Amino acid sequence: MEKKEKVRYTDEELQEFKELILSKIEQAQENCNRLKEILMVDESDTTFNMMEEGASTQQKEIASQQLQQQMDFIRKLQGALMRIENKTYGVCRITGKLIPKARLLAVPHATLSIEGKEIEAERKKKH
């Protein structure tokens, strides 16, 4: 008897992924809060000398970039939660095949399998 290729993850597996994603969102939100605190440092404190002020500006720029990255990450994770609810989570958007579980555990918001990424890269090269 021929083994049928799995087309979607089971509800139990989807629940595992959901728990992982929720913990990643919580962690990312904590990072966002910490970065927002860095950006909210009282700017009315004029006791800084010019060098400290320059370092402070650079530190805020870095924190601002990191905050944007964390917010993007949260958005991608929320998209993954939507796919879990729709039971389409873990399906490569190019090949239609299941993304290996190991990849999803490493990159829970992935929408492409490695094969899908390679196909997408080839398409981009041609255009």
Q: Is residue 64 part of a domain?
A: yes
Residues 74 and 103 reside in one and the same domain = no
pTM of the entire structure? 0.81
Within a domain: 3 = no
Structural domain range at position 118? 90-127
Residues 17 and 89 sit within 8 Å (Cβ to Cβ): yes
- The answer to whether residues 44 and 31 belong to one domain is yes
Contact 91, 8 (CB under 8 A): yes
Three-class secondary structure of residue 35 per DSSP = helix
Q: Give, for all 127 residues of the chain, the pLDDT tens digit.
A: 555 678 899 999 999 999 999 999 999 999 999 999 888 865 555 444 444 556 678 888 999 999 999 999 999 999 999 999 999 999 999 999 999 999 999 999 999 999 999 999 999 998 7
Same domain? 95 vs 43:
no
Q: Are residues 71 and 120 in the same domain?
A: no
Are 97 and 70 part of one and the same domain? Answer: no
